[in-house]
Structure 1
Amino acid sequence: MSAKRITIGRTFSQTPLETEDTSETHAQTFVLSTGKRALFRSERIPANEVEDKTFVVMETNGRDQAGLTPDSLRDIIRTIKLQQFFPAIGVMQGGKIEILDGSRRRAAAIHCRTGLEVLVTDAEITADEARKLAQDIQTAREHNLREVGMRLLALKDGGLSQKEIAENQGLSQAKVTRALQAASVPSDLIALFPNHSELTYPDYKALLQAADKLNETGQSVETLIDNISMEIDVVCSREGLAEDEVKNHILRLIRNASQTLVKEPEKDKTTSTSLWPFADKDRFARKKTRGRMFSYEFNRQSKDLQEELDKVISETLKKYLAN
């Protein structure tokens, strides 16, 4: 008696999914919203090709890629080096694979420098078919309110009213309103939080109100961030704080700083000047000036350069101040 073949990939009790009986080349047939069938084959993307060979379209996948921080991916990072429980789902587009489902697994694989298992099809799939297929098979983690809103924004930009969006997506109009508000919060503010999934609707609402108030009074979100960035770094580096506590601390800093900016007249703006161009966006050498205050900032520079800078600064200070 032969052993029963183990199904490769996801199985669903009430989704249009069938498994092909192919023991040598693992494959699955997905029945699309239009009734068309698409055969997906199993492919493993090598670690050094994951970032270049695969990509994600927010309007289709629905996951906010800026929110895929190491903190938010902690559960997958812990296991993906050893095993990938479910393959990602993708479609070939211009020689690369667009990930319909599995962008968290993709981001974790890039972070851990490991390969990625993908079920991929060469079938021609329309944007609407891809979007609906992605919604049908996404079961790893529920999208947060902002991610839902960012998907709905694409529909709103396409000319649909909020009522039509609600009917199209099977959502209440209140849910659509909340999601669109969450998606309207400036991304720079959202980026201050290590784990975006901790944010709730009241949090998004408070952030949007702070941003709107700053805009009304001629202040900028950039000024707010510049004023509290060091304090946020301190909060994030504190040990023993739960993720919701980190979120609440950062919210409090944003709320207090925004209220202070709104009440006070605008101060001298901070001007940042690059001292050297780098191909890597994470490396920089720059000077910041605000009024009579200035500072120099360096990131990802060699120890030798740091020691040389210390030496030059020390000699310069002695030259001008040792009197």
Structure 2
Amino acid sequence: MSANLFTKNPSEKGAANASHNANAQVTAAVTKNKLLFDNAKKVIGQLSENLPISEIAQLFGLNIEESGIQFPMKNGRMETFDLITIETDQILQRTTVHISNAREQDALNSPEALSDIIPSLTNQGNFLPGVANISENATFEVMDGSRRRMACVHARRPYRLYVPRNQISVEDAKYVADLCLLHKALSYREKGAANLKIMEENGFEEVADLASYLFGINYQKSDYELLRLQNEAASIPLVLCELMPDFNNLSVREYKSLSKIANHFDASESNYPNEFLEFVSSAKVEIAKLPLDPKVSVKQKQKDYLKSILGLFNQLKFKSNETVSDKPTKEVLQTFNYRNKKITKVTSKDKVSIVFARPDKDLLSKIEKLISEHYQNQNSEL
């Protein structure tokens, strides 16, 4: 049976007394049968070189209850891990970085190279453990978490590792690390950012690829939709999110509203059109007009701010529909929930363009072939 190492055991007075009495009985039995236990210890010492402790226990007719944390592996099997804490002064002596780790370790020797994670480690500790196998010489070979390893050294914080009872592959170690990342208590937007990172590192183009990776090929529709919504929340430009008092604690509906605004302007984290920036500036002015009441909860402020933002947005849409303009109009034909990948149709007075952001080479080849064949056929008919 597995146990969660983060769950605190009850410390009731009765439980403490029962534990004390049990320990006293064990001590008395060992004292009474000292020779027998000494011989048993010798046998166990010889067996432990080749057998895991669970099998040794079975040889002696014992049923031990294993503690630990269980994680699924890529092939579906379950593995039990122990959560190991290594004190700061022992990190470099007790851990090494696995040879498969592609990160340049020499680049991590200065605090400046780890400035993005050292502040959180200093304030919160190593809340996301690394993953390591234990080697033959009893050191831990870190397969995921080498940056956190050196950051703990620089920040003078203990380093935590998930260590499997049985050796696992580098691929399985990365899978466990991804699962740990997604099981943190994060907002929709933060989980979406974690999703996008996993997609980028694994070369996934579609949300369906991520869903298969995390939930298996028979994933539920609800699993896919959850990932899609999280990715959508993470794709909203930060400058728009920052209009809200606590943008990491918005509801799904509120994230959808902001996403609708971003899509209208074709805005992304790497693309801030001037019209979009003008809208954000105007929204700040409108929000500043709202009455300041310290008694109003953050949740209510979120609603009030969003109402003001949407009011401005709807006015803008109404005016744009009334005004005849020569400015090009943009229509998003297809989004992929992967970074800034999308296909957009841009229509002006006498020109239509199809814009591919992060284009698919196979699709472009097919389009080029279609155009070529179309006009070849036209020429042959003339």
TM-score w.r.t. the length of structure 2 is 0.40
Which structure: larger Rg?
A: 2
TM-score w.r.t. the length of structure 1 is 0.46
* Higher relative contact order (Cα pairs below 8 Å, separated by 6+ residues): 1
